[in-house]
Amino acid sequence: MRRLAVLLTLSLAALLAPAAGVPVHQQGSRNKLLLVSFDGFRWDYDKDVDTPNLDAMAVEGVKARYMTPAFVTMTSPCHFTLVTGKYIENHGVVHNMYYNTSNKVKLPYHATLGIQRWWDNGSVPIWITAQRQGLKTGSFFYPGGNVTYQGATVTLSRKEGPLHNYKDEEEWRANIDTVMRWLTEEGLDLVTLYFGEPDSTGHKFGPESQERKDMVMQVDRTVGYLRDSIRHSGLKSSLNLIITSDHGMTTVHKNASDLVEFHKFSNFSFKDIEFELLDYGPNGMLLPKEGKLEKVYEVLKDAHPKLHVYKKESFPKSFHYANNPRVTPLLMYSEPGYVIHGRLSVQFNNGEHGFDNEVMDMKTIFRAVGPDFRKGLEVEPFESVHVYELLCKLLGIVPEANDGHLSTLLPMLTCEADSGGLSTPSATTYSGSALLPGGHPLLIMGLLVAAVLLDKVK
C-alpha cells in the first residue's frame, strides 16, 4: 500500500512538474525582473530628505507603507529570506557570521559570503529554481549569490572584494550599466543587485545624521539613473523593477549609564561558556559548558532589564528564529538602542540593527514598478517572507516550498497579470483545474485522491 501511494504521488508530481529545462510558458510572454536592495534603508528615510525618484516610482507603481523584515534583522539572514521565502529558522542562514561551535571558528561578514556550506543548507534560492526551470539569472553583490547550491551556480555573478568601498556613486552607475548588459545582451531573466548603502553610513554616523540624509539622496539619484537606464535599454515595457532592503537602523545609546556589559554581570563567568557569539549588535548566542546550562541561564535571565535571554526552546515562536540546529542552547537580544558587550565594552557604531522586527526603526522599504504592477497603489505593511512568492509569480516559475503566501502581495499586480497573463501553476493560490498544466485535470484529481486515501491507510 505504502509503495503504491508513493508511486501515485510520484506520477502526480511528474504530471504537475514542468519538464526539466523547458520554460513553464512560452518565451516572450514573461517579463524580466530586477530586484534591487539598498542595505539598511529604513522605511521612513524618505520622510526627511527629498527623494524625487523614489517618489516617482511610487506614483507610477506600487509602494508599501513599510515592510517587516525577518528576525534577526541582520543583512545575510534577511536577504536570504527575500530569495527563499523562508523564515530564518527554516533557511538556516541564522547570522551574518559563519560559526562552528566545535572548532570555535568565526568568520566575519565578507568571508562568510564565500562559505558555500553556510548558505547551501537545504534551501534553494530563486536563482537556482529559475535556472532549473529554463531561465537565466544573475546576482550582482547580492548576499548568497556567489556560492553553489546543490552543485549549481548562478548564471552570472559578482562578488565584492574584501576591502570594497560601498559608497562610490560612480561605481554604482557602472554596476547598473553591467546589469543592463546582462539583461539585454546576455539575455538574463532575473537579476538581483545589491548596494551596501545607506547601511554603512547609518552605522557610522547614526540614522539621524546629515551624512545618512546625504546618502539617501545618493540612493535616490541612483534610482533615477537606474530608471533612465531601463528606458534607454528599451526595457521599460518588459522589465519589472523592485526596490527593497533588508532591515532598518536605530541610534545606539552609546553614553547610556546602563550599558549591557557581560563582563560586569555579577555571578556570570566566561569560564562556564564553551562558545560565545557576542559583540554583534543586539544579538547574542551562548553554548554553556557541559552541565552549566541551568546555572548560566539563572544568572543571565534577570541580569539586565534591557537584555532578553532565553533557552532556545522558549524563544518566542513569533520570531520564527530559534528552531534551527545552528542556534545555540541560549540566545538573547537587547532593547532598541542597546547593544551587547561581551568581554570588553567597545562600540564604534552610532547606528545598529538586529533588534526585534516589530520595532518601527527596523522596518524597511518596498517599491515596485513595471508592466505587471499596478500604478499609484500604496499597500499596507507586510512581512518580507511573502516577497519570494511574488517574484516566482512574476517570473512564471514554480516556487519551492516556503513560508510565504502569494495571496498577500497578489493585489499589487495588474488584473491581466493576476488572471493568468502570467501563468504560474501555483497550487497554493489557485484552486480548480484552470491552471493545471496540459489537459489532465481529471487524471490529476484522480491520482491526488488516490494518493491521499492510500497515505491515510499507513
Ligand X SMILES: *[C@@H]1O[C@H](CO)[C@@H](O)[C@H](O)[C@H]1NC(C)=O
- Please report, as ranges, the residues that interact with ligand X according to CB under 6 A: 92, 100, 102-103, 117, 121-122, 146-148, 153-154, 157-159, 254-255, 266-267, 325-326
Q: If binding means CB under 5 A, how many residues of this protein chain bind Zn ion?
A: 5
Q: Tell me the closest approach of the beta carbon of residue 14 to ligand X, in angstroms.
A: 24
Q: Could you tell me which of 17, 5, 4, 2 has the C-alpha nearest to residue 452?
A: 5
Q: Tell me the closest approach of the beta carbon of residue 199 to Zn ion, in angstroms.
A: 5
| Strand-pair partners of 33 | 190, 240
From the number of C-beta atoms within 10 Å of its C-beta (0-12, 13-18, 19+), residue 344 rates as exposed
Q: Tell me the closest approach of the beta carbon of residue 128 to ligand X, in angstroms.
A: 11
Distance, CA of 458 to CA of 407 (rounded, Å): 34
From Zn ion, ligand X, none, which one binds at residue 295 (CB under 5 to 8 Å depending on kind)? Answer: none
From ligand X, Zn ion, none, which one binds at residue 148 (CB under 5 to 8 Å depending on kind)? Answer: ligand X
From ligand X, Zn ion, none, which one binds at residue 236 (CB under 5 to 8 Å depending on kind)? Answer: none
The set of residues, in sequence order, having a beta carbon less than 8 Å from that of 312 and lying 6+ positions away, is: 322, 327, 328, 329, 330, 331
Q: Tell me the closest approach of the beta carbon of residue 26 to ligand X, in angstroms.
A: 29
Angle (CA) 164-166-167 rounded to 5° is 135
From Zn ion, ligand X, none, which one binds at residue 317 (CB under 5 to 8 Å depending on kind)? Answer: none
Cell triple for residue 447? 491520482
CB closer to ligand X, 235 vs 273: 273
User: What 8-state DSSP symbol labels residue 290?
Assistant: T
| x-marked contacts with Zn ion along 226-265 as a string, rule CB under 5 A | --------------------x-------------------
From Zn ion, ligand X, none, which one binds at residue 157 (CB under 5 to 8 Å depending on kind)? Answer: ligand X
Is residue 75 part of the contact set for Zn ion (CB under 5 A)?
yes
Residue nearest ligand X, Cβ-based: 122
User: Measuring CA to CA, how many Å separate 156 from each of 48, 130, 153, 355?
Assistant: 37, 13, 8, 34
Only segment of 59-67, 134-142, 198-206, 326-334 that touches Zn ion (CB under 5 A)? 198-206
Cell triple for residue 106? 568565526
Handedness of CA 408, 409, 412, 413 (dihedral sign): negative
Q: Return phi, psi of residue 250, to 5°.
A: -135, 160
CB closer to Zn ion, 75 vs 81: 75
| Contact with Zn ion (CB under 5 A) among 31, 36, 39, 395 | 39
CB closer to ligand X, 254 vs 264: 254
Q: Tell me the closest approach of the beta carbon of residue 331 to ligand X, in angstroms.
A: 15
User: What 8-state DSSP symbol labels residue 413?
Assistant: B
From Zn ion, ligand X, none, which one binds at residue 276 (CB under 5 to 8 Å depending on kind)? Answer: none
User: What 8-state DSSP symbol labels residue 370?
Assistant: S
- Strands (E) located in 174-266: 190-195, 239-244, 250-251, 260-261
Query: How large is the greatest C-alpha to C-alpha distance in the chain, in angstroms?
Result: 71
DSSP string, 131-188: HHTT--EEEES-TTTTS-BTTB--SEEE---TT--TT-HHHHHHHHHHHHHHHHTS--
CB closer to ligand X, 349 vs 428: 349
From Zn ion, ligand X, none, which one binds at residue 153 (CB under 5 to 8 Å depending on kind)? Answer: ligand X
Q: Tell me the closest approach of the beta carbon of residue 75 to Zn ion, in angstroms.
A: 3
As annotated, the active-site residues are 75
CB closer to Zn ion, 82 vs 260: 82
- Which position has the grid cell 528564529? 321
CB closer to ligand X, 23 vs 138: 138
CB closer to Zn ion, 83 vs 398: 83
- Which positions touch Zn ion (CB under 5 A)? 39-40, 75, 199, 246
